Amino acid sequence: MSWETILKEKIEKENSKVLESLDVKQRKTLKKTMQAAEPSEYFGQDFTKLGELIDMLKDLELIKADKKMNKRLVVMDEANLDIVASAGKLRKEYETLYRQLRGIVYPKRKGDLRDE
């Protein structure tokens, strides 16, 4: 099977009633928006980096000597852990909602290999 045939089949497979009902500009916009909304591996990295920053500050001698500041960082660390837990739950809900929306735009076809 040639690359051209494979590409043509993929393009045909990606078409849907929703996309076909749109003009070229709207279709392009919808596809770009779908791609931008797709969950990525970077979802929780900011929270991880914040945790690393808190740990780094807690390890500084200046902070260790200041009991009030040390307590403040412990509270911030606990708050970050709460955020990470919430982010994990939100990530799961986001992925589920995204798959449902993608299913509307690109309905599964018999024999389709896409994940659910």
Is residue 113 assigned to a domain?
Answer: no
CA distances from 30 to 60, 87, 98, 101 (A): 49, 26, 13, 12
User: How confident is the model at residue 37, as a pLDDT?
Assistant: 85
Model confidence pTM above 0.85: no
Number of domains in the chain: 1
d(CA 5, CA 9): 6
Is residue 14 assigned to a domain?
Answer: yes
pLDDT in tens, the chain (116 residues): 566 665 555 555 555 788 888 888 988 888 888 888 888 777 777 778 888 898 988 888 888 888 998 899 999 999 988 988 898 889 899 999 999 999 998 887 665 555 54
d(CA 89, CA 48): 15
Is residue 114 assigned to a domain?
Answer: no
Q: Which of 40, 42, 41, 37 is nearest to 104 (CA)?
A: 37
User: How confident is the model at residue 9, as a pLDDT?
Assistant: 54
Is residue 27 assigned to a domain?
Answer: yes
Cβ atoms of 88 and 44 closer than 8 Å: yes
Domain that holds residue 51: 3-105
